[in-house]
Amino acid sequence: MYEKILVPLDGSKTAETVMPNVIRLARESKVKVVLFTVEPSAPTAGRARASRNGAGVTPATMEKPDQQMTAYLDSSANMLTALGIDATKVTAVGNPAEEILAYAAKNGCDLIAMSTRGRSALRRGLMGSVTDAVVRTSDVPVLAVGANSVEGKDLDGAIRSIVVPLDGSETAEVVLPHVEKLAKLLALEVVLLRVVRLVPWAYGAHERVPLDTTDIEHALEAEAEEYLATVAARLTAKDIECRTEVMHGVPWDKIVSFVGKSDDMMVAISTHARSGIPRLVLGRVADMIIRSLETLALVVRPL
């Protein structure tokens, strides 16, 4: 399972919406948690980077340390420690997204858990642009949590199932090992979802005569059902509860609607996959899900 979770925080209540999920994962799998914040560089520091574990940042690389933020991290770490969780504090200096990615890559983090909103980006806030930059470029899986997840949508007993949009490509399936781990660890049902964009009538290029595409549509739906059944069989063989759903329509609309209709679902998705009809453009789907702020999203970028 996961061994070290990086948790970017900025002192805001909104950024803390990720914490219930971190606590659940940490308590169930005994992982280490790194509470991470970014201080702005001093004007004369240029692009220099420094980091600290608690205290000891080189004064020349940053503005005056934020004592309130230091106390906040101390309090958060103490809270996790009281729950039996191995927690440490790290402060970096520079651009938030760059520092998050650099620390995760250099220190063996295997999950980044962060809110999609926070304080003003002019200070150290984890605004949507920071989360977006991390999700799009991180080699480490990202658990993105929207502000609306604060009521009821966390892993601590509220989430019952993981929805996994697939399009038939191997690239989309890179998320499945992570889904298996979470499903076993938290006793979650897996819902394999595929959207087939059916067009009831197509027109000939020259004749402008409507053509009946019923047989083609049925073939596409049957292929989707067969594919999902094959993937589901691999999961059920590992004692993971699994079901499949084939839907019709615009992929990103259907997925967001399906996941958002219930408070007990999260989604796990690859950021890129094969595109075109009837394949999904999963990069756009991931972006729409995160921006909707209506669910937890585990995002895995294929390497």
Residue 33: CATH number of its domain? 3.40.50.620
**Same domain for 200 and 122:** no
278: cis peptide before it, omega within 30°? yes
* Ordered DSSP codes for 40-100: PPPGGGTT---EEBSB---GGGSSS--HHHHHHHHHHHHHHHHTT-EEEEEEEES-HHHHH
Of the residues 125, 149, 173, which one is the last residue of a structural domain?
Answer: 149
Q: What is the pLDDT of residue 11?
A: 83
**Same domain for 139 and 16:** yes
Q: What is the pLDDT of residue 74?
A: 93
Tell me, rounded to whole angstroms, the distance of Cα 227 from its chain centroid: 25
Which structural domain range is residue 187 located in?
161-300
**Same domain for 145 and 9:** yes
Of the residues 123, 149, 175, which one is the last residue of a structural domain?
Answer: 149
Tell me, rounded to whole angstroms, the distance of Cα 194 from its chain centroid: 19
**Same domain for 214 and 131:** no
| Cβ proximity of 253 and 281 under 8 Å | no
Q: Is 79 part of any domain?
A: yes
Q: Is 295 part of any domain?
A: yes
How far lies 219's CA from each of 3, 54, 88, 104, in Å?
44, 60, 54, 44
**Same domain for 260 and 167:** yes
Q: Is 94 part of any domain?
A: yes
**Same domain for 194 and 57:** no
The chain-wide mean pLDDT, for the chain, equals 79
Q: What is the pLDDT of residue 238?
A: 96
**Same domain for 177 and 134:** no
Burial annotation 39-69 (CB, 10 A radius, 16+ → b, else e)? bbbeeebeeebbbbeeeebeeebbeeebeeb
Grouped pLDDT means (10 residues each) for the chain, 303 residues: 90 82 87 91 52 44 69 93 95 92 96 73 50 85 73 63 92 93 92 81 53 75 95 97 92 84 86 46 63 76 81
Determine how many CB atoms are found less than 10 A away from the CB of residue 97. 23
How do residues 129-160 score in pLDDT, each as one tens digit? 788 788 888 999 999 886 555 444 556 557 89
| Cβ proximity of 145 and 151 under 8 Å | no
Cβ-based neighbours of 214, under 8 Å, separated by 6 or more: none
Q: What is the pLDDT of residue 189?
A: 96
**Could you identify the residue written with the tokens 């590992």?**
238
Q: Is 156 part of any domain?
A: no
Number of folded domains that form the chain: 2
| Cβ proximity of 246 and 196 under 8 Å | yes
Q: What is the pLDDT of residue 42?
A: 61
Q: Is 273 part of any domain?
A: yes
How do residues 212-268 score in pLDDT, each as one tens digit? 667 777 888 899 999 999 999 999 999 999 999 999 888 878 888 888 788 788 899
Q: What is the pLDDT of residue 80?
A: 95
Q: Is 155 part of any domain?
A: no
Q: What is the pLDDT of residue 117?
A: 62
Q: What is the pLDDT of residue 225?
A: 96
**Same domain for 248 and 145:** no
The 161-165 sheet, strands edge to edge: 51-52, 86-93, 32-39, 4-8, 111-115, 142-145, 296-300, 265-270, 161-165, 189-196, 242-248
**Same domain for 16 and 108:** yes
